[in-house]
């Protein structure tokens, strides 16, 4: 591992912190405060990559000689992005939409190596298949408060796991950070983890 470098995670997500910590990476956390309500241009992959890059570049303006790691996740059903719910009703409506259906989770990673002037941005797409959920199931899940800080109103690694029929793709990307993609990206720019 490249211990001489100083790393920053541009996120306050406890899931991203946990996943990076599990890799043995030592880093500081400086959350970006960019406005994420930007117009979508291009594909969903392009959009989620842009969000991750904007978060990283926001932090890059505030620090020097660091490797800045940022990420973003969007949940997509059809042509609609399902955001973090702002209310119980919004969480209920989102979960009702997802019930019994397949949707996609796009998770991006941006790496900005300031010292070497390198920027690397990529994403992964994972198909998630939900079980049918009754209104009682949805109301119970909302009562746990788990849906409220998560895109798509669910957490695959928590109580929401009971509603997941299967996934095709990266579990950790659905959790919020595509670990294997990140390790490959770091290796490509010369940083071994």
Distance CA 43, CA 128 (A): 19
Distance CA 116, CA 169 (A): 32
DSSP string, 83-102: ---SSHHHHHHHHHHHTT-E
Distance CA 77, CA 152 (A): 9
How far is residue 181 from each of residues 53, 62, 120, measured CA to CA in Å? 16, 26, 11
Does residue 72 have an active-site annotation? Answer: yes
Given the structure tokens 């990266």, which residue do they identify? 170
Q: Which of 72, 79, 127, 137 is catalytic?
A: 72
Residue 85 backbone class (left: φ over 0; alpha: ψ -120 to 50; beta: rest): beta
Please give the backbone phi and psi of residue 152, each rounded to the nearest 5 degrees, phi first: 80, 0
- Number of Cβ within 10 Å of residue 132's Cβ equals 10
Cβ pair 105, 125 in contact under 8 A: yes
Cβ pair 107, 124 in contact under 8 A: yes
Q: Which residues does the annotation mark as catalytic?
A: 72
């Amino acid at each position: 591992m490249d211990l001489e470098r100083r790393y920053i995670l541009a996120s306050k997500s406890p899931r991203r912190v946990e996943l990076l910590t599990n890799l043995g990476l030592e880093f500081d956390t400086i959350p970006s405060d960019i406005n994420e309500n930007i117009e979508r241009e291009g594909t969903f992959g392009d959009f989620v990559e842009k969000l991750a890059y904007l978060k990283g570049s926001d932090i890059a303006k505030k620090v020097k000689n660091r490797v800045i790691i940022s990420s973003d996740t969007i949940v997509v059903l059809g042509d609609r992005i399902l955001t973090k719910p702002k209310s119980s009703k919004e969480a209920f409506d989102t979960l009702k939409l997802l019930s019994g259906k397949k949707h996609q989770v796009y998770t991006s990673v941006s790496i900005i190596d300031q010292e070497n002037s390198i920027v690397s941005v990529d994403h992964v797409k994972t198909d998630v298949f939900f079980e049918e959920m009754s209104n009682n199931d949805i109301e119970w899940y909302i009562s746990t408060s788990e849906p409220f800080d998560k895109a798509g109103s669910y957490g695959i690694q928590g109580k929401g796991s009971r509603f997941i029929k299967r996934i095709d793709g990266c579990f950790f990307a659905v959790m919020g950070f595509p670990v294997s993609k990140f390790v490959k990206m770091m290796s490509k720019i010369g940083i071994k983890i």
